[in-house]
Structure 1
């Protein structure tokens, strides 16, 4: 990721368009001049998962209509014939944005009013700090985008045009044992290991590559039609980030999308999700340009924990000028499942750190 430029522009623009559309449709005049609107919920209301929320519409001059059918997304929830407020449940709804529709029927005609709600995580995440167990040497030319531990070695995917590659690295010495360089026009991104293959993304080049893990020979080049950021493998499917608050699920054999989750804590969406790792049934993700790793429930996208890694490597002390410091932020998570070792890295950092996480 290069500075703050990696933004999911299309998703942001679409979201703005939807909100503007909702705003205009929430206050309607029917063909008879009757003013109708949602009293609640207001557009964009945040509701914690598991909580009920109030729903009420204003019918205007009419004291009664034939019926009002309420839908969440496209699913009918309840029908009423008066203006009294009702409570709708969030149980079973995915985290994220949901469209609320009141379909008003009267005299053989109908009209729709719309609003929306955001479902947040049910509770605040647990907070963690860290203890450094060991420091392992790392090549300071490696702009880390993806990091994996496998069979006693680190595998790295690095970025920057002209310097992007795939590497196999000696844990104890930091020496690069194998390398596959990308074309100098490409900006490499996250990697993950799937059996005897390595899958690697590019940032904005709409390309992904598959390599033989043993030989580093490229065996496939794929079209990848979104920004490439982080990757992980949970044993069944590939997990992919694109800098938004969405984690996409990809088929491990054909690399096509098969699902997704949106990531929220109890207050807001968590954007800038970057490098990923799957550890003991949870998704760990770097939050780009921060010192935070979030721990995510893969079933619903709820942030269950936050690890504060402030101070683990004083970039400002090591790189004395802004030019040298660049964008050398925390990025890279790897896990040794057999020995329960957690490793974290940063772009062009001189060390990879083995850490233990501690609850605050």
Structure 2
């Protein structure tokens, strides 16, 4: 399992300190938070103790504790236990509201929550191979029935395509404007949603005609990388460790999850596919696919795809694995990459 070491990046657990900017709150109080774990890092299924550091011996009547604005404890002495009830991993803010007579004080720190378990390891077996256009700088693929839809990138080369996957024939292709770099796509309710990289907009098309209908703007997400959906929610990656959850009607960013294993944060989340209740994600320039819990961000599995690139002739280091599609066949995926001459149908199996 040495390939896990190449996938999982060293974890950063820098803590953000500060006080809440609310009216009638006093900032110069000297109060701080102490955690039972020295690095303020805990597993999602564990418990960590928090206490109030009060070097100036200020009067403390009671302390209310919050995780990301959700109250989880109230104490008189400032001691409490932190347990992550929602299971979400990543950076979480612990905030204490301290009541002292007529005064109120606020202090906060971040903690890092890791996945409770190490991810399961998966391998693959090639079942079938199909031709794929080597001019396609593949950014995302998705099936509707037996028809494969593909988004390709590069300025002046970006397209939205409808493809006969068995022959590799491009049935229809729509070129993007030269100043737009195509990225991931997903299909929901007879509409195609396609991202652009750094323009800050996504494009919306009619599924049947591939006519462009509208566009939508990004919010706080940095860029456009990958898209998928679960039939209700739409998930968007931006090249960081975050996967954003979009309102299916407005396409506005409503929330996000952060992608962590039991030991590390995973950056460069790229092309996405929703498979049997999980998000499958390419990690840019890594020979692996992460299987992510969409409710928590925890990486529950990793598919080792290191040897797949040996089956194709690659023109450059940029031509990496970057296409995951699912047709509803159990434990079966369709994989390709940027300018690869092959699309692979593979069976996925857990290593024992």
| Structure 1 and Structure 2 fold alike (TM over 0.5) | yes
The answer to whether the 8 Å contact 2:244/2:253 transfers is yes
Larger radius of gyration between Structure 1 and Structure 2: 1
Other structure's SS at 1:304 match: strand
The answer to whether the 8 Å contact 1:42/1:116 transfers is no
Of residues 23, 29, 49, the one that matches 1:54 is 49
The answer to whether the 8 Å contact 2:37/2:48 transfers is no
- Displacement, 1:82? 3.7
* Aligned CA distance change for structure 1 residues 107 and 231 (closer, same or farther; 3 Å): closer
Structure-2-length-normalised TM-score = 0.84
Of residues 103, 106, 110, the one that matches 2:104 is 110
- For 1:74, the equivalent position in structure 2 comes to 69
The answer to whether the 8 Å contact 1:41/1:116 transfers is no
The answer to whether the 8 Å contact 1:250/1:257 transfers is yes
Residue segments in structure 1 that go unaligned for 5+ positions in a row? 1-14, 23-28
- For 1:240, the equivalent position in structure 2 comes to 236
Q: Does 1:19 align with 2:36?
A: no
Cα root mean square deviation, aligned: 2.7
Listed one character per residue, the Cα deviations across residues 228-250 of structure 1 (whole Å, up to 9, x for unaligned) are 11111211222211112222222
Q: Does 1:307 align with 2:303?
A: yes
- For 1:279, the equivalent position in structure 2 comes to 275
- For 2:9, the equivalent position in structure 1 comes to none
Structure-1-length-normalised TM-score = 0.83
Matched length: 331
- Displacement, 1:67? 3.1
Indicate the structure with greater helix content.
1
- For 2:120, the equivalent position in structure 1 comes to 126
* Aligned CA distance change for structure 1 residues 104 and 43 (closer, same or farther; 3 Å): farther
* Aligned CA distance change for structure 1 residues 168 and 123 (closer, same or farther; 3 Å): same
Q: Does 1:160 align with 2:157?
A: no
Residue segments in structure 2 that go unaligned for 5+ positions in a row? 1-12, 20-25
- Displacement, 1:107? 4.8
Distance 1:281 1:214 in 2: 27
Listed one character per residue, the Cα deviations across residues 246-265 of structure 1 (whole Å, up to 9, x for unaligned) are 22222334323343322222
- For 2:92, the equivalent position in structure 1 comes to 98
